[in-house]
Structure 1
């Protein structure tokens, strides 16, 4: 595992996937300020103690546990001992869960941690060595097992009953992806999807874990990270991703990931 020679903290990212991000990292002390993703953050601590504030309490992830942080739930991260902490994490888009579950509100883990062996077992394939590429079918099978197990362990056995307009929400999600270079509104979504904007906004939050606007912002930040990975400057990355300027991008990046884009670029080490 490579790491920067002038920095004890390091992070590597598995080979690019369009819809699933996997990382492995080590932090010697404080890692992240309070922030929130619009994805599930699911992972395990390999060594040390990974401490984080989540839903009003300080949690401690240790070997054998599975972290399951819900979309848009604030959390931070730091070492719980002097030894630092080493962990693996995957960021799973709620849209992937919905492609399997077809319109069921997302599973929720109040504590952000689980010691259920079923969940630990089904995360193994997706959290294997970052240098080992996943076959597409292997990944899809593992995602199915993960989605169904999340509901079972959370006490929400999945069913085929559709209580919300999943089709309209998915169309809205696709429209956002096609409009990242535009300043769209709920009115634009309503006119293009044909569903009342407030019902659409409610369903989007329930099914994808965040608001339409925040979803769009996070997809722009995905573009920023890819730009930084391939050597673009912070200013150029902000422009390419559709932000007003570098300052605007930095505010959103720090809110989403708990570190500045400059710091992220410093500790990031491409897969060797």
Structure 2
């Protein structure tokens, strides 16, 4: 395992590309110039993208999923937990849910990378099967780990194809094990008693009803847990607060509407935001760019499925 600060990489490494032995799928990355994001539609809440950037890609933002990926070409630089980081081709990046970060290219070569965004409850479920609980926190956001890298190649090499149920379940088990292996034990292994069934009922309600007001009292009535315990348990299981989880589900709906060509104002109101300005503020905080810029980059990258 190793971490790179922005001062830690050598200039002669910046021209590296991901080794051909990592899989034919990653060798076949398109060579379309310019900035762009290519995404596969979500499967069971899991998203996969390929992004290309010259210069800065994302302003500081945070999302409520694990962001796990591979740098393919160039140097990926970002600020995370108060420290500058740099990832070289073939290195693994792990961003914990709800952690502020930015991102961009570290040199004139530009940057290409692929990421998989995994809801934290998927990781929690995979670990709970082994009588573990809570979310693993990986303090080092840049890792050199061949096994972890190979698991990601398996997930990201054929972004144009669906993962499928069997492969997805096996992948989740493997990724959870890799995260656990690199976790900071002091933060990840605190004993916790979580009512997973009640918490899932709360998350399901927020997914289904994100376009209307949902209160902690509503969740309390469903879970039969007092609201303060509920808030603590929810963060332990999902990596974020119930309120932010609801906002992110609204933003998920916004992205789907934008991909269908809806106007920004209509997407905002139809997803539970009071108006377009309200949506814009939350969108930029979550994704590091405005809804209009997000739509432009996805149009430039193309939809794979």
Fold shared by both chains (TM-score > 0.5): yes
CA distance in 1, matches of 2:165, 2:196: 25
Q: In the aligned structure 2, how far is the partner of 1:119 from the partner of 1:240?
A: 39
Q: Unaligned stretches of 5+ in structure 1? A: none
CA contact under 8 A between 1:168 and 1:200: conserved in structure 2? no
> Which residue of the partner structure matches residue 121 of structure 2?
95
Q: Secondary structure at the match of 1:123?
A: helix
Residue aligning to 1:130: 159
Rounded to whole Å, the distance in 2 between the matches of 1:113 and 1:3 is: 25
* TM-score (norm. length: structure 2): 0.83
| Alpha-carbon separation, structure 1, partners of 2:134 and 2:224 | 22
- 1:32-181 maps to which residues of 2 (within 5 A)? 32-102=58-128, 104-154=133-183, 163-181=193-211
CA distance in 2 between counterparts of 1:265 and 1:176 reads 25
Given that 1:119 and 1:153 are in contact with CA atoms closer than 8 Å, whether structure 2 keeps it comes out as no
Alignment length (residue pairs): 268
CA RMSD of aligned residues (A): 2.0
2-side partners of 1:206 and 1:30: how far apart?
32
Output one character per residue of 1:7-38: Cα deviation in whole Å (capped at 9) or x when no partner: 82011001442411000010011100000010
Q: Distance in 2 between matches of 1:104 and 1:31?
A: 35
CA 1:249 to 1:3, structure 2 compared with 1: closer, same or farther past 3 Å? farther
Q: Secondary structure at the match of 2:156?
A: coil
Unmatched 5+ stretches in structure 2:
1-28
State whether residues 116 and 153 of structure 1, in contact with CA within 8 Å, keep that contact through their aligned partners in structure 2: no
Is the contact between residue 34 and residue 75 of structure 1 (CA under 8 Å) also seen in structure 2? Answer: yes
2:247 to 178, 202, 217: 217
Deviation above 6 Å: which 4+ runs of structure 1? 1-4
Residues in 2 aligned to 1:21 and 1:72: alpha-carbon distance in whole angstroms: 17
| 1:14 counterpart SS class | strand
Q: Name 1:192's counterpart in structure 2.
A: 222
